[in-house]
Structures are given as C-alpha cells and as structure tokens.
Amino acid sequence: MKAVVGFYGIYDMLAQWAHDMQAQLKREMLAQRNHDLIARPRDNITEEFLGVSPMKNRRIYFESSPISYATIDHNRVRFLLIHGGRDELVGPPSQSGAFFAALTQARFFVRRIEIPAAGHFWASDPFENQPRSYGAMTAPRLLRFLEDSL
C-alpha cells in the first residue's frame, strides 16, 4: 500500500465511543428540556459496531483503531486526512487531529485538509458546476496528493 485517503474517518475507537456517549447525553438533556415523553434508546454507534463496551473489552477498541498502528516501523505509507470542521458525528480533534499528530510523531508523510464549515457526509455531493462547494475546494489537493503518492 502506498497511500491512504481518509474522509472524516474514525481512527481511535475509544475516543469515538466517548464522543458517542457525549452526543447521547446531549440528546437526553435536550429531550428533558423539551419535555419529550418518548425516550430514545441508548445509541452508541461505536459500541454497536464493535459489539461490546470498552468496559467489557478494551482490547478490541485498541486493535480496531488505526491510531494504534501509527508506529515508526510502519511509516512508508503516505496519508491524506480530510474532514469538516463542523462534523458532529466524528469529532475532528479526537479523530483526524489526534491521528495526524500520531502519524507525524511516527514520521509518516501526512497531510490534512479541513473544510471549516463542513459537517459529515459532504464528499459525495456533486461539485462539477459548483466551484465553491466542499468537493470543488478539496478535489485539486486530493488529485495532487494522489499524483505525488502513486
């Protein structure tokens, strides 16, 4: 493998689990404030995906996290991390930010593109006729990275 392009990725499963828990707490507080009578079930996407909480099996969180493998002996791959600054599903500081730092410390070639106003799921939006779209802003840098890496 020569290159990895990560779009709003999850790189630390334990940090994402904590992010999911915070989001659930916010939803519950909002429901209480609005006097909602229907309670949502506990919704932790990361725990559902891994099938267990970190209190029961912390090892699976470590083993399934790309950040765990950002070591000096594996640093031949080039990385481009792309995310929105307003992503509420995946916390940019605890995911792309932390992974960028870990890759940098392990001396990987890594670049990061943050689209400040973007949330999650923007990469598939059409951009051919919209020069100010998130995709149009990202595409030239993505293509340059791929040309230099492959």
Please tell me the distance from the alpha carbon of residue 24 to that of residue 27, in angstroms, as a whole number: 5
Average pLDDT of the chain, as a whole number: 90
Asked if 14 contacts 61 with a C-beta cutoff of 8 angstroms, the reply is yes
Mention the CATH class of domain 3-149. alpha beta
pLDDT digits (tens, 9 = 90+) for 54-95: 999 999 999 999 999 999 987 899 999 999 999 989 999 999
C-beta atoms surrounding 126 within 10 Å? 9
In sequence order, the 6+-apart residues with CB closer than 8 A to the CB of 85 are 92, 114, 115, 116, 117, 118
pLDDT 10s digit of each residue in the chain, 150 long?
Answer: 899 999 999 999 999 999 999 988 887 787 777 776 565 556 689 999 999 999 999 999 999 999 999 999 878 999 999 999 999 899 999 999 999 999 999 999 999 999 999 999 888 777 777 888 898 889 999 999 999 999
Q: What letter represents residue 102's amino acid?
A: A
| Range list of H helices, the chain | 13-33, 45-50, 58-63, 98-105, 134-149
% residues pLDDT > 70 (the chain): 95
Contact 64, 50 (CB under 8 A): yes
pLDDT score recorded for residue 92: 93
The 3-class SS string of 47-64 reads: HHHHCCCCCCCHHHHHHC
How many whole angstroms separate alpha carbon 94 and alpha carbon 101? 10
Dihedral of alpha carbons 109, 115, 121, 123, sign: negative
